[in-house]
Structure 1
C-alpha cells in the first residue's frame, strides 16, 4: 500500500494508527480525567491486532501527554496540560487568567546573605542581604510548581514584616517599582525526592525548571527559580516573522 508521495505504508503501521486515533477520540470526547482506557485484550479483539501494536499506540499518546501509566494499576486519561507561556506575570495572575484559584504554602520567608550566583543575578555583591521566599504554588488545590524567589533588601525594606506577600510583583508595584521586563532560561530535568514529595510526584519524574531575572527599568529587582510539573505544563512560545532592521536615513535623504 502506498501513502502520500508514493511511499509504501506497511499494514502494521496502519493498524497502529487506527488504534491510536480511536483512543485519542475516546479521550477527547467520551472519557474524563482519571478514567481508565479499555484493556489491551479488548483493544486487540476490537481491532484484530497484536498486543505490541496496541502498546505502540498507547505509548504514542503517553508521549503526547493524553494518557498516563500508573505502575500496577493501568493506563488512565491524564490531566489537561496548561500552556506555560513565557510572559512577565506572577503565578497568581496566570492562574486567575485561566479561571483557576491560586494558593500557596510558604516553606521559608527570611532574610539571608546572597550567595555568589544570587548576587550575580541581582547585580549585588556576595553577602549582601536579600529576602528569600520559598513556596509551593497551587491551582484549585493541586500542587503545580515550587518557587524560590530572591529580592534585594534595599529595594523593599520590611518586605516580610506582615508575613510573605501573596504576590511579590504586586508588592513591588505598590512600592513604586514596576517589573516591566525580564529574561528566562528553561530546562527539562528530573525532580529530586524532596521536591517530588511537595509536588505529589514520584522521584525522577520530569519537571520544567525556569530561572527568571526580572527588571524594573534597569534595576534587577527579582530573581526566581521555579520547578513546574511537566505532566501539567507544556511550554508555549509565540513566534512572529522577523521585522526589517531599522536604519537611520542618510544626511542626503534628510537634508
Structure 2
C-alpha cells in the first residue's frame, strides 16, 4: 500500500470498492483480520481499525463468534402501512423470519387492555426474529386477539408474513399509530440480535387497527438502527 496514505484508510477504500463492484454482497462474510493482514501485507491493528470504522459507517457488521459481514443501509418509509418483509424486498434484500416463541397466552391483563379485550380473552403471542439476507435486523414481540384469528396456530410464520396473513383473513390495516423509544437490550434480546448486552436500540411500538377500528395487533419491535434509514415527511 502507498506510504503517504495510512494503511487502514487504504484498506477501507479497497473494501468499499469490493462492495460497490459486487465482489462482496450483502450478507457475505469477509475474510478474518488475520487473512486480510496477510493478503495486504499490513498489521492486524490497521485491519481492526479499518473494519471498526467501516462498521460505524454501516458497511460491515461484526457478530461475535461468527465473523464480520457485509451489510446494506436499508430505507424504511414510516408513512406507509407495509410489512417489514415488503420493506426488505424493496431494498433488494431477501427477508426471512425465525420464530422464537409462539402460542396462546391467558391472564395478561395489561396487554388485554391495550388490545381492547376483556380479562378472560385469549391472546396469541408471536416472538420472532426478522432478518435481511440472513442478518438480524429486528426482534418483534407481537400479541393478537386469538378469537379473531382462530386458525393462527396452524400458520408457519417463518414462511408466511403476518401482515399478509391478516389481509388474507379480511383484516385490512387502515390505522397504525406508531411510537418510538430507545431502550437497552437485556441479555436474552441481545443474544437473538447477535449484539452485545445493554446495547441501545430503537424500539417501535405498532398498534394496528382494521377498518372497523378493532385493534388486531400490538407489536414491540427492537430494531437495530445502524443500517436503517427511516423516512418521514412532515406536512
Q: TM-score, normalised by structure 2?
A: 0.69
- Which secondary structure state, in structure 2, belongs to the residue aligned with residue 160 of structure 1? helix
Find the partner of 2:219 among 220, 224, 232. 224
1:111–1:130 CA contact under 8 A, matched in 2: yes
CA pair 84-186 structure 1, distance change in 2 beyond 3 A:
farther
- Which secondary structure state, in structure 2, belongs to the residue aligned with residue 222 of structure 1? strand
> How far apart are 1:61 and its partner, in Å?
8.1
Structure 2 residue aligned with 1:179? 173
CA pair 27-178 structure 1, distance change in 2 beyond 3 A:
farther
Give every structure 1 segment of 4 or more consecutive aligned residues whose post-TM-superposition deviation is greater than 3 Å.
Answer: 25-36, 58-71, 76-80, 162-165
Distance 2:131 2:55 in 1: 24
- Which secondary structure state, in structure 1, belongs to the residue aligned with residue 148 of structure 2? coil
CA pair 132-69 structure 1, distance change in 2 beyond 3 A:
closer
Taking only aligned residues, the RMSD between alpha carbons, in angstroms, comes to 3.5
Flag structure 2 segments of 5+ consecutive residues without an equivalent.
Answer: 1-5, 25-29, 37-41
1:134–1:146 CA contact under 8 A, matched in 2: yes
Structure 2 residue aligned with 1:200? 194
Distance 2:111 2:136 in 1: 26
Structure 2 residue aligned with 1:129? 122
Structure 2 residue aligned with 1:89? 82
Output one character per residue of 1:66-122: Cα deviation in whole Å (capped at 9) or x when no partner: 687999xxxx99733323332322222221222211111111120112523312221
2:124–2:146 CA contact under 8 A, matched in 1: yes
Find the partner of 2:131 among 102, 122, 138. 138
Distance 1:229 1:27 in 2: 26
Q: Which moved more, 1:187-196 or 1:26-35?
A: 26-35
1:115–1:127 CA contact under 8 A, matched in 2: no
CA pair 185-160 structure 1, distance change in 2 beyond 3 A:
same
Distance 1:232 1:186 in 2: 17
Distance 1:112 1:174 in 2: 23
Count of aligned pairs between the two proteins: 204
Distance 1:70 1:201 in 2: 7
CA pair 70-195 structure 1, distance change in 2 beyond 3 A:
closer
Distance 1:199 1:177 in 2: 30
Q: TM-score, normalised by structure 1?
A: 0.65
Distance 2:193 2:145 in 1: 28
2:75–2:87 CA contact under 8 A, matched in 1: no
- Which secondary structure state, in structure 2, belongs to the residue aligned with residue 30 of structure 1? helix
Distance 1:68 1:101 in 2: 17
- Which secondary structure state, in structure 1, belongs to the residue aligned with residue 190 of structure 2? helix
Output one character per residue of 1:11-54: Cα deviation in whole Å (capped at 9) or x when no partner: xxxxxxxx9xx88x938963647698x98x98xxxxxxxxxxxx
Distance 1:161 1:182 in 2: 26
Could you say which structure has the greater relative contact order, defined with CA pairs below 8 angstroms and 6 or more residues apart? 2
Distance 1:114 1:103 in 2: 31
- Which secondary structure state, in structure 2, belongs to the residue aligned with residue 173 of structure 1? helix
